[in-house]
Amino acid sequence: MARQLDEQIVGRFPVGRRLRVLDVGMGRAARALRLARAGHQVTGVEQDPAMISAARTALGAEPEGIRERMRIVQGDGRDTGVHFLPGSFDVVLCHGVLLYVEEPDPLLAGLARMLAPGGLLSLVVRNGDAPAMRPGLTGDWAAALAALEAAPRTPPRGDADTGTADRPGPDVRADRLTALTATLAGIGAPLHAWYGVGVFTDTAADTDQAADGPEPPADLEVMLAAEERAGRTDPYRGVAALLHLCGVRG
């Protein structure tokens, strides 16, 4: 996803421009810090106190120049209007957040309002069009059949989950590309590009984690190249575990 986001930023903005970035649900701030190191002004929003603590620790270990370019705000992504003025950001990131939001439309509308004209809204969501792929490829036939028979699930608030943003568990909401495309158009940030994430690596990661020693697999670069190519190629991207959608504010 980092390469995809870099590609979108380079394609939308002049090279060398320092962007105002809002990262909603920043977690431990790995993504936000990467952007701050690249010279951008980054504001991270997170409501989990443990994540906030980890993010502050990570930021504290950075050089002064990077620390000055990053701000951490503890709060809910649905309350961006309380903290920021409309049009305050060139890029708004919302990665792995909609999985846990019962009604995403108000959140997305609020995030779109934060964008300056021509700004980029980057979303990463669970793919509601292919929920049976992972259990099917790993041989969990009962789970695959259940996924084929069930609609994408929207959990109640506070629902527990055993996965992560990159590897979501079964009990998180999923979104369909067609529905999100319509939503983005309705909030004034129509879809500009979309990618599949985890076409191959969603299952390959289990093998990697089981490998002995800390060294990555010898063919890691080849694997990532294949994954990135599949993530932008039909029909493969349509069955990815996650979708990365990029909307542009009109």
The full set of domain ranges for the chain reads 2-248
Helix, strand, coil share (%) of the chain residues, nearest 5: 40, 20, 40
pLDDT at residue 102 is higher than 80: yes
pLDDT at residue 127 is higher than 80: yes
Show Cβ contacts of residue 88 under 8 Å, excluding neighbours closer than 6 positions: 20, 22, 114, 116
The stretch 26-33 carries a mean pLDDT of: 96
Rounded Cα distance, 146 and 126, in Å: 17
pLDDT for the residue 79: 92
pLDDT digits (tens, 9 = 90+) for 189-247: 999 999 999 999 887 755 444 444 556 667 888 988 999 999 999 999 999 999 999 99
pLDDT for the residue 215: 61
Query: Strand 89-95 to strand 115-126: parallel, antiparallel, or no bridges (unpaired)?
Result: parallel
What CATH topology corresponds to 2-248? Answer: Rossmann fold (3.40.50)
Rounded Cα distance, 125 and 173, in Å: 9
171 confidence band (pLDDT: 50, 70, 90): low
The stretch 10-17 carries a mean pLDDT of: 88
Query: Greater confidence, 63 or 15?
Result: 63
